[in-house]
Amino acid sequence: MKNFKLLLAMLSLLFVSAFFIQSTEPDTDGEEVSACEVVNYLPHQELNATEKEALLMMIEEEKLARDVYITLGKEYDVKVFKNISDAENRHMEAIECLFEKYDLKNPIEEKALGEFSSRKFQDMYESLVIRGRTDITEALKIGASIEDLDIYDLNELLESRTTDNDDLKAVFKELAKGSRNHMRAFTKNLKKQNATYEVKHITKDQYESIIAHEQERGGWLCGDEKPRDGREKGCKGEKGKCGDGCKGNKNGKQKCKGEGHHGKH
C-alpha cells in the first residue's frame, strides 16, 4: 500500500509538471489549461500548520517581488522589471488558487501596491525601494536579492518533510523554476552595468550553478511564458476567467478562480 501511494504521488507530480510545461495545448473543452485547473486536478489533501504558514509567507513574498519591481520599473527604463513583475503577478495568482481551493483567507486581498499584512514584508518593501532608487545597479542587485530569498525559502519548503501536499509541491517547484530564471535575468542585466551580485541566502555554489544553466522552460502558471506563435495566454477557469482577463485590477491584483476535476466543491 505504501509503495502504491508513493507511485500515485509520483504520477501526480509528473502530471502537473506536464500540464505546466504543455499548457499551450487546449484541454478537452478546447480551452487553454490554467494554473487553477492544474492545482484543482490534484487531490484535496488536508493542510498541516506548516503548509498553511508556507502559503501565507509565499503569497506575501511573491507580492513583495512584484510590488518592488513595479515601483523600480517606474524609476528606470529597463525591461527586466516590467517582464518579471508580470511573471510575479501570475505566480501570486497560482498561490491564490491554493488559497481558494483550501478556503483560506488571503492576507493580501484588497491590499494596494506596496501594502502588506505582515510588518516584516512591509518593512522589507519600504527598505528595498529606498535602496533601489539609489541607481540602476543597486536596483538590479535588489532584484537579484529578492530572487535569492525566494529560491532559498522555496528550497527549504520543498525539502521539508512537512510539506507533503502534491498541489503545494507542484506550485512551489514551478515558483522556484521561475525564480531561478529571474535570477539569471537580473545577473545578465548587472553584467551590462559591469557589476556582480553577491549571494545572501543560497550558497555561492548554488548561485553559480543557476547562472551556468540556460533559462528553464515550462511553468506557465497562468501565462508565465508566451506560446511560440506569440499569443497571450489567458487564465481561464472552468467557469469564467480569472479576474478581468489576467490584466489585474486597479490595485495590480488578480484573481484565479475555477474548479478542476478533483478540486474542493
pLDDT tens track for 186-212: 999 999 999 999 999 999 999 999 999
Identify the band that residue 36 occupies on the pLDDT scale cut at 50, 70 and 90.
Answer: confident
pLDDT for residue 258 is more than 80? no
Q: Residue 7 pLDDT > 70, yes or no?
A: no
Domain positions in the chain: 2-24+32-241
Greater model confidence, 40 or 263 = 40
Which range is least confidently modeled, 16-25, 101-110, 193-202? 16-25
**Angstrom distance (rounded) from CA 263 to CA 56:** 20
- Mean pLDDT of all residues belonging to the chain: 79
The model carries a pTM of 0.75
What's the whole-number mean pLDDT along residues 151-160? 97
Q: Are 254 and 242 in contact (CB under 8 A)?
A: yes
User: Confidence band (pLDDT; 50, 70, 90) for 122?
Assistant: very high
pLDDT of res. 34:
75
How does residue 35 score in pLDDT terms, banded at 50, 70 and 90?
confident
- Per-residue pLDDT averaged across 218-236, rounded? 40
| Superfamily designation of domain 2-24+32-241 | Ferritin, core subunit, four-helix bundle (1.20.1260.10)
The per-residue pLDDT for 33 is 63
Owner of C-alpha cell 481561464 = 236
CA distances, 3 to each of 9, 158, 210 (Å): 10, 21, 33
- Of residues 93, 63, 143, the one with CA closest to residue 256: 93
Summarize pLDDT for 43-92 with one digit per residue, the tens: 999 999 999 999 999 999 999 999 999 999 999 999 999 999 999 999 99
pLDDT at 149 over 60: yes
Beta-carbon contacts of 211 under 8 Å, excluding residues fewer than 6 positions away, are 183, 184, 187
Indicate the pLDDT class of residue 227, thresholds 50, 70 and 90. Answer: very low
- The C-alpha atoms of residue 46 and residue 257 are separated, in whole angstroms, by 20
Question: What's the confidence (pLDDT) of residue 1?
Answer: 53
